[in-house]
Amino acid sequence: MLCPVCKTDMIDLEHDKIELDYCVKCKGVWFDSNELELLFEKMNLKNCSLSISDLINKIDEKIPENKHKCPLCKKTMGKIKIGDSSQTVIDICINGDGLWFDGGELIQLIKHASQDIQQESNAEQQVINFLGEVFRI
């Protein structure tokens, strides 16, 4: 699969039944639609209301960032703002194939998704630990 930003081949990384497509050049990550929900489940964010269909409904056509094509269906992806400050913008396939995260954006989504969930464990740290295992950091 080609990176939607760099147009270079991405590498497949699999850990704990979640497969990520990772670009070593720009550090971006592609999640197929079901992989995001699986990540939330692994991070005990089962009550999180963010699903890919919810996110598709939040596409903002007015975001001025460069548009990228979905690596699966090749259609131009939409942009959505996440987080309280809405400064983080991620790309989403309009057909629901998946999500593209530039470097650092995944953590922003997890922070947004877990902000109202009270847990004994820290969701952000769980994601960092998970990604550390995936990328062997």
pTM greater than 0.85 (yes/no) = no
> DSSP readout, 23-89?
-TTT--EEEEHHHHHHHHHHTT-TT----HHHHHTT--TT--SPP-B-TTT-PBPEEEEESSS--EE
Contacts of residue 90, Cβ cutoff 8 Å, sequence gap at least 6: 79, 80, 82, 99, 100, 101, 102, 105, 109
Distances from the Cα of 118 to the Cα of 38, 42, 106, 113, 130, angstroms: 19, 16, 20, 11, 20
Bridge partners, residue 12, by sequence: 21
pLDDT at position 120, please?
42
Please, what are the averages of pLDDT over each run of 10 residues along the chain (137 residues)? 95 84 91 82 64 85 92 96 74 94 79 56 59 57
